[in-house]
Amino acid sequence: QVQLVESGGGSVQAGGSLRLSCAASGYTYSSNCMGWFRQAPGKEREKVAAIWTGGGSTYYADSVKGRFTISQDNAKNTVYLQMNSLKPEDTAIYYCAAERSPREWSTGGYCYRRTSYNDWGQGTQVTVSS
């Protein structure tokens, strides 16, 4: 059974940092598109960042560029989202997602544009207070 489990969410003040983790089990995402998404109350889900785990290429939404960093640890089958300089508008439930089909070559930008993410985690709440 494939599972993505997010952790690391919490409550912080504006300007603070959090690191989210997405641990995968049941499938090894060694050459796949993986991404972080978020959904705030009353808003549509939006993409935050993406990574191609085959080479580490990344891509970010303009709203988080320079503040968030997506990274991977293939040995642990885990993807991370380091979030710095957090703002109240970053408050949302954050979800990890993965595309099951492996790719021999890709880029973070291509992964960011994908709409066929098959596997999703349950989400972790991030709350940033002003």
According to the model, what pLDDT value does residue 91 have? 98
Q: Given this model, what pLDDT does residue 42 score?
A: 94
The reported pLDDT for the residue numbered 68 is: 98
DSSP-derived letter for residue 1 is -
Please tell me the number of Cα atoms within 13 Å of 34 on its side-chain side.
Answer: 30
Confidence band of 57 (pLDDT split at 50, 70, 90): very high
Tens of pLDDT, residue by residue over 29-54, are 999 999 999 999 999 999 999 999 99
Going through 26-67 in order, the beta strands assigned E by DSSP cover 33-39, 46-52, 57-60
Q: Is 90 helix (H, G, I), strand (E, B) or coil?
A: helix
pLDDT in the model for residue 6: 97
Neighbours of 88 (CB within 10 A): 11
Query: For 110-125, what is the mean pLDDT?
Result: 94
The Cβ of residue 1 has, within 10 Å, a number of other Cβ atoms equal to 5
- Predicted pLDDT of residue 18: 98
DSSP letter, residue 26: S
Tokens read off for 53: 């785990």
Q: What percent of the chain has pLDDT over 70?
A: 100
The pLDDT of residue 80: 98
pLDDT in tens, 77-90: 999 999 999 999 99
| Strand partners of residue 125 | 93
d(CA 114, CA 129): 32
